[in-house]
Amino acid sequence: MATSVSICSNALLRLGAQTIASLSESNDRARIAANLYESVRDSTLRSHPWNCAVKRVVLAPDTEVPAFDFTAQFTLPSDWMRTLQVGQDGFQGDYRTESGKIMASGTSLALRYIWRNTVESTWDAMLVEAMELAMAASMAYGITKSSAMVETQTRLYRDHMKRCRATDGQDDPPDTLGDFPLMQSRFGGAFRYGPGR
C-alpha cells in the first residue's frame, strides 16, 4: 500500500540512496523529500487525468455575477486541480476560468475535474510509479549532486508518462460524435452512434 514515505523511499532507492522511515527524520534525505513532496504531488496529479483523481460535481452559481460577457460565476471546489470538462457530454458551452471561478451562463454548472487526492493508498499503480519517478527527478541533484542523474531520472519520468497516456486511452470507451443533424442528413438517417443504436 503506497504512502508518502514509501514513495519517497522508492525514489531515493532509484537514486542509489538510503531509504527513510519518516519525512520528519533529521537527515538531508528526509528534509529534501518533505520539502518537495506536496508540490511534486500536485504537479503530478495535475499533469494527467488519473482515474483515481477525477470527480464530477454540479455547481450552484455565486450570488455575485461577472461584470460582462457571462451571466453567472461558479466557485471552483476547494480540492480542484484542473478542469477536464465543463457541461455534460455534447453540451459544453462557452466558459472562462478566472481567479478560482468559472465564468459561464446558466443556473448550474456540470464540472468534471482533477481533484487533490492526497490518499496515496487509493492511487492507481501507474500514478504511484509516476510519483516515484517525479520525486526521483526532483530530488536527484540534491541527493546525488549529479546533473547526469537529473537528466536520466527526468527522461525516465517522461517515458513513463507517455505510457500512462497510452494506457489511459484504453480504460474508457471511445468518444462518439453523437447524433448530429449534419451526419444524419449526409448519411440519410442511417448513421447512428453510441450503444444500442
Collect all residues with Cβ–Cβ distance below 8 Å to 126 and sequence separation of at least 6. 50, 160, 163, 164, 167
Q: How far is CA 113 from CA 4, 44, 110, 181, 191, in A?
A: 23, 14, 10, 30, 32
- Provide the whole-model pTM: 0.82
Residue 178 has pLDDT above 90, yes or no: no
Is 161 in contact with 175 (CB distance < 8 Å)? no
pLDDT digits (tens, 9 = 90+) for 44-87: 999 999 999 999 999 999 999 999 999 999 999 999 999 999 99
Residue 187 has pLDDT above 50, yes or no: no
pLDDT of residue 108: 95
Reported as type and span, the H/E element at residue 9 is helix 4-14
pLDDT of residue 89: 76
Secondary structure of residue 47 in the 3-state scheme: coil
Distance CA 46, CA 40 (A): 10
* Nearest Cα residue to 37 out of 13, 9, 16, 8: 8
